[in-house]
Amino acid sequence: MHGGRLRPEHVRPGGRVVSRRQAVPPLGSPGLDSAWSRWVTATDSQGVQRTWHVLDTAGTDSDSAIQPAGTLLCVHGNPTWSYLWRHLLARFGRADAPPWRVVAVDHLDMGFSERTGTVRGLAQRIDDLTTVTGALGITGPVVTVGHDWGGSISLGWALRHRDQLRGVVLTNTAVHQPSGSPAPALIRLARLPGVLPAVTVRTPTFLQATLALANPWLSKPVREGYLAPYHGADRRAAIGGFVADIPLGPDHPSWQALQEVAQRLHTLAGIPTLLLWGPRDPVFGEVHLRDLRNRLPHAQVHRFEGAGHLLTEDADVAGAVAQWLVDLDRRPAEPIATPEPAVPWRPLWAALAERAEDRSVALVELANNGRQISWSLLWQRIREIGAGLSASGVRRGDRVALLVPPGADLTAAVYACLRIGAVIVVVDPGLGLDGMSRALRSADPSYLVAVGRGLAVARALRWPGKPIGAGPGAAVLGALTLGKLARLGADVLDLPAAPDPDDDAAVLFTSGSTGPAKGVVYTHRQLAAMRDALFGLGVNADAGIVAAFAPFALFGPALGAPSAIPDMRVTAPRTLTAAALAEAVAAVDASAVFASPAALRNVVDTRDVVDDRQRAALEEVTLLLSAGAPVPAALLTQTRALMPKAQPHTPYGMTEVLPVTDITLDEIVDAEPGDGVCVGRPLPGIQVAIAALDSTGTPSEQPGCAPGLTGEIVVRAGHVKDRYDGLWLTERASSRNPGWHRTGDVGYLDPEGRLWVQGRLAHILLTSDGVLSPVGIEQQVESVPQIARAAVVGVGPPGVAKVVVIAETLPGTRHARLASRELADAVRAAAVPPVAAVLVVPSLPTDIRHNSKIDRTRLRRWAERVLAGGRVSGL
């Protein structure tokens, strides 16, 4: 055998000299280092000497002072070559990288390896990879890294070399085509009679189509790098061969080899495994990811939203692998001692079960002609639906997506699922259809419960969730079949054993205001702890609650309090009027109101239309809770004019942990203006700390509680989420301090122990004056009489970014534009840091879930374009 660096010619057995002029790797291509390129010659499993091209960070230098911890064996698919792995090769050549060698092999007849003219099926490809690793003297530890058809090849090698295997990394690949799902359209098209050679060999159509899957579009030099080995039909023969080698049935020559790989994956149960996935992949979809997760249930998974088939081009795969390797050899953290709860765990449905014979009102739906549901009827319907779900095949741990408007039907479905141990998947319609589609596909529910418009949309967009019912083609659970389900359950009325406290209970999605909505997994114990934390806000279980805020619409029954849902679209907070709120309060003699800031703003705006009876009802409210975004003190003051007995509270929290702190309007007034929004002190049992920011805006690894220190807000509580769903990287970053959740919010603790929120970590400004947070500057700008609302963004490179103010004005402007000199001067006089530019807009874009959180990322991009001379429209 022979291994050596690239050379212009190579002597073949028999003394024949083979020119390399048409097969020289394009070492000038972006990201490709000439020191990595090697030829490896060895005898294959058929006894023929073959020559492979590999990229190898070790080169031929065996005298390195630093011995690698192991080898990353990277295997490309079709129609790429080892150029696909250049980011990994570069990442592990850095001084701060884990000391791992990276070897990326070009398959024979692919890339710059020898063109053999032979047909090499999956089993032969696995043999070939074994030949190369033997020739390179690789003995382990090895982490295999595979993509596309290279995933199956790398897994075949891994299964043969368990004694050398340290881990497995897979990116957008498959080992099985699940029954009932068609093969990828791109593959089916290429396999049509007469089409295969035309699009894969005679022309570069298949290759160019694959490169076009990159998101964003590949630069011309990078595309040329991928195309370089495949100039000419004689060099593309294996592209067609690889497509033809995909077995779609048992009569295919490679079917048995693929079956052996797929059926033996369970033997890798003790091997650390990482699945990195691009969801925008038309080749390997959610069905293939689901299959891999079922076969490798221990695998850590991260979905890169927005990324697709060429994942290494679309996302930082190299960074993810580097972090994963660090964790492989890290000593596990000592388990955190969890204090025994003061009272035994009480399931979320406990209050409902305890009131099973109570015929008093539990829930009133004002949007449904004031429909009233008693505690006994609600619990009966929960039991019936639970029994019906169980009889229909829903099992403990199955995920059930609920696309049902807030109300009695949703409440019954939620608690039925929780009681039988099914995991509810709740996606806010406020995310929009695209956002809902991303969320549901990432959660991958087994079943779907939808009614009305949700049912029609689910069918049209083919959202995941298999039908429930008898026989093929049964409809997804809808308004009619939900009743049938309850009747089925009434006949059975036999509920399975209740789930354990630490079983998964729910996947709740974030608002999506700082990127694609993230799935947040809660256990039953954590949901119960969230319920208990709400009592810390002063909720009285004996008094009525008006739930005008979607996150709380389901908690009234858990609290044991009668609840009313106003005549509004709960997912569109601005639809709540003062009259609708008053009618909901009167319906259950409510003493507590839950509403978002956007809802309260419209209540204040419509306060003049309430009659004396409605006003009298509002005057009996004693507790007002508003959350979801910062609530201006002026808005709370205006709201209290309608509810004079109420003490307004603005708890701070997020989908991952709610609530965290609490503050009343009186306390806000006492706090006086500061640098940010004062959100009060932590609630009982909750700890808050700050991870200080350095000069680059990076939070420190160890949080502390020193007053006045600006940094990332870190929280510890019994109702902190269990994990992010299918987002291993995100979860790793948020929980790197065991037991604590890093919120992504920036703030500080004052000497009184109160928390002040200054914005999001993603929105801080890295200026020549240092690290600035936006909220405090926005408050300064909003002190200008002509400014209704402001957003502050940084425009320019990090470290020298300039402060730009974008504002809504009084009176409002009809068109986005640069502010007048007079207004700009007033803003600059009010703001402490230098302001480079002031822009005015008709309205600031906000998230569609709360209608309150300003989309600063969108504003920054718009301001960059405008200040660079681009068009002003398009915000």
Round to the nearest angstrom and report the end-to-end CA distance of the chain. Answer: 62
**CA separation for the pair 368, 168 (Å, rounded):** 54
Mean pLDDT across the stretch 447-472?
Answer: 65
Helices (H) and strands (E) in the chain, counts: 29, 37
Instruction: Determine which of 263-272, 275-284, 311-320, 444-453 has the lowest per-residue pLDDT on average.
Output: 444-453
- Regarding whether 141 and 21 lie in a shared domain, the answer is yes
- CATH of residue 825: 3.30.300.30
- CATH of residue 393: 3.40.50.12780
Strand, coil or helix: 787: strand
- CATH of residue 641: 3.40.50.980
User: Which one has a higher pLDDT value, 438 or 65?
Assistant: 438
- Regarding whether 773 and 747 lie in a shared domain, the answer is no
The answer to whether the peptide bond before residue 79 is cis (omega within 30 degrees of 0) is: yes
Q: Of 760, 793, 813, which one is at a domain's C-terminal end? A: 760
- CATH of residue 119: 3.40.50.1820
246, part of any domain: no
Domain that holds residue 695: 674-718+736-760
216, part of any domain: no
Instruction: Determine which of 166-180, 467-481, 824-838 has the lowest per-residue pLDDT on average.
Output: 467-481
- Regarding whether 426 and 390 lie in a shared domain, the answer is yes
Q: How confident is the model at residue 784 (pLDDT cuts 50, 70, 90)?
A: very high
From the number of C-beta atoms within 10 Å of its C-beta (0-12, 13-18, 19+), residue 813 rates as middle
Three-state SS annotation for 730-745: HHHHHCCCCCCEEEEE
- Regarding whether 473 and 622 lie in a shared domain, the answer is no
Q: Which residues contact 276 (CB under 8 A, 6 or more apart)?
A: 169, 170, 171, 172, 302, 304, 311, 315, 317, 320, 321
**CA separation for the pair 44, 128 (Å, rounded):** 6
From the number of C-beta atoms within 10 Å of its C-beta (0-12, 13-18, 19+), residue 609 rates as exposed
Sign of CA dihedral 427, 428, 431, 432: positive
Q: Residue 196 pLDDT > 60, yes or no?
A: yes
Mean pLDDT across the stretch 694-714?
Answer: 94
Show the tokens assigned to 223.
């595309």
633, part of any domain: yes
- Regarding whether 584 and 497 lie in a shared domain, the answer is no
User: Which one has a higher pLDDT value, 349 or 339?
Assistant: 349
**CA separation for the pair 703, 710 (Å, rounded):** 11
pLDDT score of 49: 96
- Regarding whether 706 and 609 lie in a shared domain, the answer is no
**CA separation for the pair 247, 863 (Å, rounded):** 52
Q: Which residues contact 126 (CB under 8 A, 6 or more apart)?
A: 153, 156, 157, 160, 257
Sign of CA dihedral 159, 164, 168, 172: negative
Q: What is the mean pLDDT of the chain?
A: 88
Per-residue burial over 554-588, b = 16 or more CB atoms within 10 Å of its CB, e = otherwise: bbbbbbbbbbbbbbbbbbbbbbbbbbbbbbbbbbb
Q: Residue 460 pLDDT > 50, yes or no?
A: yes
Calculate the dihedral angle through the C-alpha atoms of 294, 300, 306, 309, rounding to the nearest 10 degrees: -60
351, part of any domain: no
- Beta partners for 809? 787
**CA separation for the pair 330, 325 (Å, rounded):** 9
827, part of any domain: yes
Rg, C-alpha atoms of the chain: 30
- Regarding whether 557 and 622 lie in a shared domain, the answer is yes
- CATH of residue 742: 2.30.38.10
274, part of any domain: yes
pLDDT score of 451: 73
Phi, psi of 624 (to 5 degrees): -120, 120
From the number of C-beta atoms within 10 Å of its C-beta (0-12, 13-18, 19+), residue 21 rates as exposed
Mean pLDDT across the stretch 106-119?
Answer: 96
200, part of any domain: no
Residue spans of beta strands (DSSP E) within 315-413: 361-365, 371-374, 399-403
Q: Which residues contact 93 (CB under 8 A, 6 or more apart)?
A: 33, 57
- Regarding whether 318 and 298 lie in a shared domain, the answer is yes
pLDDT score of 875: 80
pLDDT score of 343: 60
Q: Of 745, 760, 775, which one is at a domain's C-terminal end? A: 760
pLDDT score of 480: 36
334, part of any domain: no
- Regarding whether 755 and 799 lie in a shared domain, the answer is no
- Residue of 146, 153, 149, 205 whose CA lies nearest to 177: 149
- Regarding whether 165 and 64 lie in a shared domain, the answer is yes
User: Which one has a higher pLDDT value, 736 or 93?
Assistant: 736
**CA separation for the pair 842, 873 (Å, rounded):** 11
- Regarding whether 320 and 465 lie in a shared domain, the answer is no
Q: Residue 454 pLDDT > 70, yes or no?
A: no
Instruction: Determine which of 68-82, 128-142, 398-412, 824-838 has the lowest per-residue pLDDT on average.
Output: 398-412
- Residue of 181, 10, 213, 196 whose CA lies nearest to 112: 10
Q: Residue 318 pLDDT > 90, yes or no?
A: yes
Q: What pLDDT digit, counting tens, does each position of 148-186 carry?
A: 999 999 999 999 999 999 999 999 999 998 876 777 766
Total domains, the chain: 5
Q: Say what percent of the chain tops pLDDT 70.
A: 90
- Regarding whether 510 and 435 lie in a shared domain, the answer is yes
User: Which one has a higher pLDDT value, 333 or 182?
Assistant: 182
- Beta partners for 699? 693
Q: How confident is the model at residue 523 (pLDDT cuts 50, 70, 90)?
A: very high
